[in-house]
Amino acid sequence: MVKPRKKRNVLYPPRILYFKPQGIPVKNLSSVTLTVDEYEAIRLADHKKLKQEDAAKKMNISRPTFTRLINSARKKTAEAIIDGKAIKIEGGSFIFLKNRIRCLRCGNVWDAKIAPASNLTCPNCYGNKLEDVGNKLSRGIPGGSRRRRGRNW
């Protein structure tokens, strides 16, 4: 029997979920799928400049697992840049520690500790058509808690 995959801690959902090369129509593009946990590995190692051991602790995984994760993420990112492919961020085995909210009216994205309530409005345009980014990535797991569970898609 296979050991179940451990959920990786991800601080926030990514602000952007899709990147594409400029000047190429989407219908002509192939894409590379970067999982949410691979995105977090790149964020911690390359953007925040953490050592692999420290980044692995933040994600609640072992250092060798982090190394495999970051190598996979870098390979996919390099493939997308070299071969002119789009990068789509979705899937993986993760738990969000905090959340992000996106305004569907103006596109503003901000960090939040709770899911949107009926009285929550966009701080930019005061609109009330909001999207819970964490729930969207986690495939609609119900509840307003800060800890959201991701799924393998």
* Domains of the chain in sequence order: 8-94 (no CATH), 98-141 (2.20.28)
pLDDT of residue 144: 31
pTM of the model: 0.74
pLDDT of residue 145: 34
* CA 78 to each of CA 112, 114, 138, 152: distance values in angstroms, whole numbers, following the listed order: 32, 35, 26, 23
Contact residues for 16 (Cβ-Cβ < 8 A; gap 6+): 89
pLDDT of residue 117: 52
Contact residues for 76 (Cβ-Cβ < 8 A; gap 6+): 32, 33, 34, 38, 87
In this structure, the chain runs to a length of: 153
Divide the 153 residues of the chain into consecutive groups of 10 and give the mean pLDDT of each group: 82 88 91 94 96 95 95 97 94 84 86 63 86 67 37 37
